Amino acid sequence: MIMTNFARLNQAMGLQRSSASSKQKVQPIAEVLIKNDENSGDLSLASITSDLHDISNPNKPIPSDLAYNSWVVEHPSALGSFDRMMKAAKGKRIVVFLDYDGTLSPIVDDPDRAFMSDEMRAAVREVAKYFPTAVISGRSRDKVKEFVQLSNVYYAGSHGMDIMVPPRPLRPCDANNHTTAMDIKGSDVLFQPAKRFLPAIQEIRTQLEEITRKVEGARVEDNRFCISVHFRKVREEDYGILEEKVKSVVGKYPEFHLTLGKKVLEIRPSIEWNKGHALEYLLDTLGFSNSSDVLPLYIGDDRTDEDAFKVIRSRGQGFPIIVSSTPKEDTKACYSLHDPSEVLTFLLRLARWRKASSSSRSLAQIWGVGSNLPRSV
């Protein structure tokens, strides 16, 4: 249920500061989640919390940097943990999944200008040379493909409700027995489980565009199988007005529901399909669903990415990585990156690691040694 008071928006998204006492300890993932080395020199929970409380003023707010550092103890940096993560990945195959907004590009006021940098594009291209790589976004598939501009990655738009993949061993999963729609577009297979909702989605979009015209700063974005109402430029005193207008439209369509993102309201069909299902579908389609040696690596920053994090946890192995500059206590991610600049550094390091592993493996094969080197992907 969307909060009536949009002034509490950050709290609803889990972006508020909180004390160390409310921490939920992240449980290790079998074989993959590497515990912090007590002798590594990293900040310990005890050393951080000892600085969090002023005895003379126990109600004094915790500085945001201290709260974040305390949270990072439970959700260690994927950069600081990189060597240990790759050690755990030895002999296994990594499949990379990436969110777009807030992960590959910064969050910006104008959603049409959420461009990724040339450096980020080059990093994703390099990663995709060595690992199967997919971008899963809430944007329309065509829009995110226009932003990314790469032909060697897979694209899933509308929070996974619009997926295009090559027709390589195709074994579509339908875990929730809903109607699936599949089409052949040239040499690609198009998977759209919400296709039957398209007429209603266009009706809703038309009505939302009409009623939001008088709310200054509001913007409606057609994401094909879902609709976004952006309010990053809306005055705070108009939040409630905008919310009521949007709810008045969505209430006419019982097969749709309203969710809250980062300064955006999203209207989606009420089907059992999300980014977690999209991750499973892509693994299945690419022939990895029954492989015990596959490690999904998912990087995302939004609440919708939590569904993918949950899937990775349920598999018992993989790397769920959240991008956040503030503590998110309820995340299912095991690792963290501070912002898109750290995502760039991580991706470049991942590609260099794989390239070095391939070079070492080739040399080892020439000399007839190195049976324990990383397995090729």
What pLDDT does residue 85 have? Answer: 97
Given a cut of 50, is residue 335 above it in pLDDT? yes
The confidence band for 261, taking pLDDT boundaries of 50, 70 and 90, is confident
What pLDDT does residue 63 have? Answer: 56
Reported CATH class of domain 196-269? alpha beta
What pLDDT does residue 186 have? Answer: 56
Highest mean pLDDT among 9-18, 39-48, 96-105, 181-190: 96-105
- Tell me the one-letter amino acid at 99: D
Are 298 and 285 contacting, i.e. CB atoms less than 8 angstroms apart? no
* Nearest 10 degrees: Cα torsion 134, 138, 141, 147: -80
What is 81-168+273-359's CATH number?
A: 3.40.50.1000
Given a cut of 60, is residue 11 above it in pLDDT? no
Given a cut of 50, is residue 40 above it in pLDDT? no
CATH topology match: 81-168+273-359 vs 196-269: no
HSE at residue 195, side-chain half, CA atoms within 13 A, is 11
List pLDDT tens digits, range 283-331. Answer: 998 888 778 899 999 999 999 999 999 999 999 999 999 999 999 989 9
Q: Buried b / exposed e across 175-194, counting CB within 10 Å, b at 16+?
A: eeeeeeeeeeeeeebbbbbb
What pLDDT does residue 61 have? Answer: 52
- Domain residue limits, the chain: 81-168+273-359, 196-269
Residue 228 has φ and ψ, to the nearest 5°, of -110, 135
What pLDDT does residue 357 have? Answer: 83
